[in-house]
């Protein structure tokens, strides 16, 4: 696929998607969102892809937000359209993807950039990362799930403070609040993501997809998380991966999941 705003590479079972507008600090314009949707969809449908890593190009930014120049003159209906289409196409799409997504936060992750990192299944940051939802400084609020996912990750009080002050959290502070799992140097960021992705890819991808659905149900008010877990648990018993995983254990060998 020929993309203008992103780069996609695959190394064995791991797909790396890099947002590639460094001169604009990788700000998310409409075309980039559409390309990201397509790249995530393709990777998810590719049976050989087991983990997706998402990062930004350049040394400065993961993503510095939605592209402000695209919506500065929007009216109310265009505003709500922007948020609902963006959430469906990219942010909720990633959060509900069956393939695990790791955000490698390599610099500024602001506004839509932090929302993109939060829609990913978990986050690893470089020491220079700075995260925040500064939308109220522009007279608007986060519209790509930020008011929902930030309190889920760091708690209501701290999320209120970060959003109201339009402030930024450094990487260590973000780790202390549970927003990112690890903080490493810029050079160590992708190697650590690949290392963790490698561990994930040795496990059953059908079971991992079931775990994602089950964990996500905890944050979906239309679902009963415990019931979802029971259903997903039961469905695992009918899979080839369950057969292989349990057989391999009993035969004292490593499983080979397809």
Selected from 3, 24, 30, 151, the binder of ligand COA by CB under 6 A is 24
Cβ of residue 231: shortest distance to ligand COA, in angstroms? 38
Alpha-carbon Rg for the chain, nearest whole angstrom, is 19
Q: Does 129 contact ligand COA by CB under 6 A? A: no
Selected from 115, 135, 232, 241, the binder of ligand COA by CB under 6 A is 135
Residue placing its CB nearer to ligand COA in the complex, 66 or 189: 66
* Residues classed as catalytic: 115, 135
Cβ of residue 161: shortest distance to ligand COA, in angstroms? 17
Joined together, the tokens standing for residue 223 give: 């679902």
Residue placing its CB nearer to ligand COA in the complex, 167 or 198: 167
Selected from 6, 16, 19, 25, the binder of ligand COA by CB under 6 A is 25
Cβ of residue 107: shortest distance to ligand COA, in angstroms? 9
With tokens 């309190």, the residue in question is 151
> Closest Cα partner for 113 from 97, 96, 136, 90?
90
Enumerate residues 50-79 that contact ligand COA by CB under 6 A: 64-69
Cβ of residue 190: shortest distance to ligand COA, in angstroms? 21
- Starting at the edge strand found earlier in the chain, the sheet holding 169-170 runs 61-63, 108-110, 130-132, 169-170
Selected from 62, 108, 194, 257, the binder of ligand COA by CB under 6 A is 108
Instruction: Return the range that interacts with ligand COA (CB under 6 A); candidates 8-16, 76-84, 108-116, 196-204.
Output: 108-116
Buried b (16+ CB within 10 A) or exposed e, 65-98: bbbeeebeeeeeeeeeebbeebbebbbbbbbebe
- Where does the chain show beta strands of DSSP type E? 6-11, 14-19, 51-56, 61-63, 101-105, 108-110, 122-126, 130-132, 169-170, 182-184
Dihedral of CA 214/219/221/226: which sign?
positive
Cβ of residue 7: shortest distance to ligand COA, in angstroms? 18
Instruction: Return the range that interacts with ligand COA (CB under 6 A); candidates 93-101, 110-118, 149-157, 185-193.
Output: 110-118
Q: Number of residues interacting with ligand COA: please give it, by CB under 6 A.
A: 16
């Amino acid at each position: 696929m020929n993309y203008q705003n992103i780069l996609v590479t695959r190394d064995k079972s791991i797909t790396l998607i890099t947002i590639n507008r460094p001169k604009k600090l990788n700000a998310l314009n409409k075309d980039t969102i559409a390309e990201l949707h397509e790249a995530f969809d393709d990777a998810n449908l590719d049976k050989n892809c087991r983990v997706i890593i998402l990062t930004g190009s350049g040394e400065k930014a993961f993503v510095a937000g939605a592209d402000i120049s695209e919506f500065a003159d929007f009216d109310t209906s265009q505003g709500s359209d922007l948020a609902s289409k963006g959430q469906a196409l990219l942010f909720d799409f990633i959060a509900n993807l069956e393939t695990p997504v790791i955000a490698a936060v390599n610099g500024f992750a602001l506004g839509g950039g932090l929302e993109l990192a939060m829609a990913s299944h978990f986050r690893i940051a470089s020491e220079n990362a700075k995260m925040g939802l500064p939308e109220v400084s522009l007279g608007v609020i986060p519209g790509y799930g930020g008011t929902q996912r930030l309190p889920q990750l760091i708690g209501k009080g701290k999320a209120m403070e970060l959003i109201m002050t339009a402030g930024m959290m450094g990487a260590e502070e973000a780790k202390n609040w549970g927003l990112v799992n690890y903080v490493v140097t810029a050079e160590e960021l992708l190697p650590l993501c690949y290392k963790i992705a490698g561990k994930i890819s040795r496990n059953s991808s059908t079971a991992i997809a079931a775990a994602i659905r089950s964990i996500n149900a905890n944050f979906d008010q239309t679902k009963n998380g415990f019931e979802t877990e029971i259903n997903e648990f039961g469905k695992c018993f009918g899979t080839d991966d369950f057969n292989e995983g349990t057989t391999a254990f009993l035969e004292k060998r490593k499983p080979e999941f397809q």
